[in-house]
Amino acid sequence: MDPIFAAVRQIHAIFGREVLSVLIVVAAIYLAFTYRPAAPRSPVARIFPVLVDIQATLGLIYWLVGIFSGITYFLAFPFILHPLLGLATAVVGHIFFGPRNPFANLGRWSAPAALGIMLVLVLSNVMIATMA
C-alpha cells in the first residue's frame, strides 16, 4: 500500500472515529449553553461544517484512489453506503448550521438537535466502515 494512501486512510479513520464524534458532543453542549436569541452565529457553528467537509473530502479522496487502485469492496454493499453517508453528513451540517436552519424554532435546542442527527450519521458511518 502506498504510504500516502495509508496516511490519508489513517487520518480519515482517526478523525472520523475519535475526533469528530467527540467534537459533535462538545459542540452540542457548548452551543446549548451559549445560545442567545437573535445573536450572530458563533464561531463554533461557522467552523463545524468546515471540519465535516474536511473529513468528507479526505474520505472521498481515499475512496476514489482506492477504486482506481482496484479495491473492489469499495463498490460493494454495505461499504458503498460509507461515502454516501459521509457526503450526506456534510450536506446536513451545512443545512443545519446555515442561515435557514430548519430547527431554528427549537431555540437553545436547535444546535444539539442538529448535532444529534449528525452524531447518528457519523457513528453509523463508523460502523459501516468497520464492517467492511
Residue spans of the domains in the chain: they are 3-131
CA distance 112 to 109: 5
What pLDDT, on a 0 to 100 scale, did the predictor assign at position 50? 93
Which residues, at least 6 apart from 65, have a Cβ–Cβ distance to it below 8 Å? Answer: 5, 8
Q: What is the pLDDT of residue 1?
A: 67
Distance of CA 44 to the CA centre of its chain: 14
pLDDT of residue 107: 85
- The whole-angstrom separation of Cα 29 and Cα 9 is 29
Nearest to 117 by CA among 59, 50, 94, 41: 94
90 burial level (CB within 10 Å; 0-12, 13-18, 19+): buried
**3-class secondary structure, 93:** helix
Please list the rounded mean pLDDT of every run of 10 residues in the chain (132 residues). 85 91 92 85 89 94 90 90 94 86 85 92 92 78
pTM of the model: 0.87
The pLDDT, as a whole number, for residue 37 is 77
